[in-house]
Structure formats: C-alpha cells, structure tokens
Amino acid sequence: MSPASRLKNDNFLRALRRQTVDHTPIWLMRQAGRYLPEYCATRQRAGDFLTLCKSPDFACEVTLQPLARYDLDAAILFSDILTVPDAMGLGLCFEAGDGPRFERPLREEWAINNLTAPDPYDRLGYVMDAVRTIRKALDGSVPLIGFSGSPYTLACYMVEGGGSKDFCHIKRMLYGRPDLLRRILAVTTQAVIAYLNAQIECGAQAVMIFDTWGGSLAHTAYVEFSLAYMRDIVAGIHRNWAGETIPSILFAKGGGQWLEQIAASGCDGIGLDWTTDIADARRRVGGRVALQGNLDPGVLLSSPEVIAAEARKVLEAFGAGNTGHVFNLGHGISRFTPPEHVTALVESVHQYKARS
C-alpha cells in the first residue's frame, strides 16, 4: 500500500491531525446511496442491498460513484454497520421497502453467554476484499475511511432485532439485567476492535465509529454504556499502520452534551450532528480534537442558493484558521436529495477557502 503522504489529496487526514489544509475538506455520510440514480441502478443489478455489500466489486463500484460526480475529499467504504452482528450469527436480512431485521434478536441469557467475537478475515472477508479493491481503485487520489458501529448502537439493533423508535427491549435489559447488556457490549467491543484493525491492515486510512443511538441514553448511562466501550476501541485499534498515523472519528449523534468526555477518549475527531453549535463545540474541545460536521441534511432539500448560505454559516461558525474542520452533514444524506444540490454544496465549501 502506498503511504498516505503520497496521496494526491490528503486534506481530510491533515484536517483530522489539525494541520494546515488547502481547503476545508468535505465528504458526506451516506454519500453513496439511494439519492444517486447510478447507485439505484447498481443495487438493482446486484439484486438487493446485502448482495451489494457482500460483493467486493459492487461495493467498490458504488463507493466510487459519488467521487466520480463530486470533488469529495474522502471515500468511505460501502458497507453497513450491521455486517458485524450478522457475522456474530444473528441472521441479517433487509425486507423490501423495510429497514434491517435480525432473524435471531439477542434477548435470551443463553444466547448472550454464547456470543463470541468473529474473526473478521473469516466471517467478514468480503469487507476486507472490498477495502483492498477500493484502495487499489482509488489509486492514491483521496483517503479511504473504514468504519464500524459503536457497541451500544450495534447492541440496539441486536437486542431490538431491527430499527426502533422506543428502544423498549434494550432499555428493559439496561435497567433490569445490566450484566447481560455489559456482556453484549464487551464481546461487541472485541469484535469491533478486530474488525477495524483488519480494515486498517487491508488499507483503511482513517476509521469512524458511528454511535447513532448513544444519544438516546440517560445522562449518566451514556458514559457507562456507550462512551466507555468506544474508549476501549480507540485504545485497541492500530494507531500507526504502514508508516502512517490512522486517525479515528467518533460520530456522536445527539452527543452534544458529552463533548468534553468524548474528546478525552483518545479519538482524533468528533462527528457532530446539526443540533450542536459548532462554534460552541470548538470552544469546548477544539484545542484537543478535530470536528466533523455539521450541516442539517435537510438543507440539501432546499436550493443551491440556500445551500451555499447555510454551508457558509457552518464554515464561519467554525471560525478562522480552517484547520481541524472536516465539513460533513450532521447525519446521512436524505434519499430525496437532488444530486445537483450536492454539487452546489461541495463547490461552496471548496470556494470558501478561496475567499478566506
């Protein structure tokens, strides 16, 4: 693998290290997805979403689609956080028009006691093949981000058996049998460490941990049931690989009230959702970590003029000295986003440097 220093565009990695950049780098969560007609066409050819994830050639094809259209500063591996519980034997399926479902949700004590961390090269070998294929296809143009779900977010899906609005099952376990939840989180943490390390060994140049549901926890429960395990992951993953430092980003949806504790986890960057004021976040933690975010994805449903104005508000709120900021949305891009609106966003973020 060619070292990151030979990347044609390393602004994303430099911003995470809080080094000077040519322009504020931008990539978008779910940049490959259903808002792109070419993604929908490839998904149709693949047959379904899981086949798309499990075929390294299809995964590579869709990873590159947004980069062919837009001047993005990073690629993200096309996969899903739920491949890890699938590899742990829970039986993932996506029903047409529906969200993800597990055939065997994790609720019984015996099943929780039997849970083990899978060998990523064996049970998730298709992800490793995808990472290698994508790195080769990127050919040093922009860095490749690997990712995983956080243990608590994965546990939400594993215990609920799919997406949830009220988190009844996991909250019942958290307050009634915290020992069982702790066992799930401990095993999942080991699984995530091995999985992210394997992605790094195969070519991922930065890693992101998605804690989509940590923000649904009570104030005191957040540190104990979500952040503590992410801290173990940050400590357990390769800090350096192939002569390069591998930055880590914790995406903390709804995590605005815990920024100081998150910044102390050892991560290099914090992904912010749009409910947090990025100026305030920078004052609180900007000296210690980079910040990624945090435009409301709903802005992309408006018009190129509004998008440019709202993007500028985020850039100006982050403030002078554009180092330490990776521009992104506060959550995944909506499937109803017109693709040309993304062009307007990427152009406004890149042009901002010209004026600043």
Catalytic residue numbers read 30, 34, 43, 80, 157
Does 29 bind ligand 1CP (CB under 6 A)? Our answer is yes
Residue 141 burial (CB < 10 Å; 0-12/13-18/19+)? middle
Interface stretch with ligand 1CP, choices 25-33, 127-135, 181-189, 348-356 (CB under 6 A): 25-33
Residue nearest to ligand 1CP (CB): 163
Q: 75: which strand partners?
A: 144
The dihedrals phi and psi of 239, each to the nearest 5 degrees, come to -80, -35
Residue from 33, 118, 151, 286 touching ligand 1CP (CB under 6 A): that is: 33
Nearer of residues 252 and 286 to ligand 1CP, judged by Cβ:
252
Nearer of residues 76 and 263 to ligand 1CP, judged by Cβ:
76
**What DSSP string describes 256-292?**
GGGHHHHHTTT-SEEE--TTS-HHHHHHHHTTTSEEE
Per-residue mark of binding to ligand 1CP, 156-175 (x: CB under 6 A): -------x------------
Q: How many residues does the chain have?
A: 356
Q: Is 167 left (phi over 0), alpha (psi -120 to 50) or beta?
A: left
Look up residue 293 and give its amino acid: G
Nearby residues of 124 by Cβ (< 8 Å), 6 or more positions away: 83, 84, 87, 118, 195, 198
Please report where in the chains the tokens 């999942």 appear, as a residue. Answer: 188
Does 76 bind ligand 1CP (CB under 6 A)? Our answer is yes
3-state class of 82 per DSSP? coil
Number of residues that bind ligand 1CP (CB under 6 A): 20
The footprint of ligand 1CP on residues 85-144 (CB under 6 A) is 99-100
Interface stretch with ligand 1CP, choices 28-36, 101-109, 182-190, 265-273 (CB under 6 A): 28-36
Nearest distance in Å: CB 288, ligand 1CP:
24
Residue from 32, 36, 278, 326 touching ligand 1CP (CB under 6 A): that is: 32
Site residues (vs ligand 1CP, CB under 6 A): 29-34, 43, 49, 76, 78, 80-82, 99-100, 147, 163, 210, 212, 332
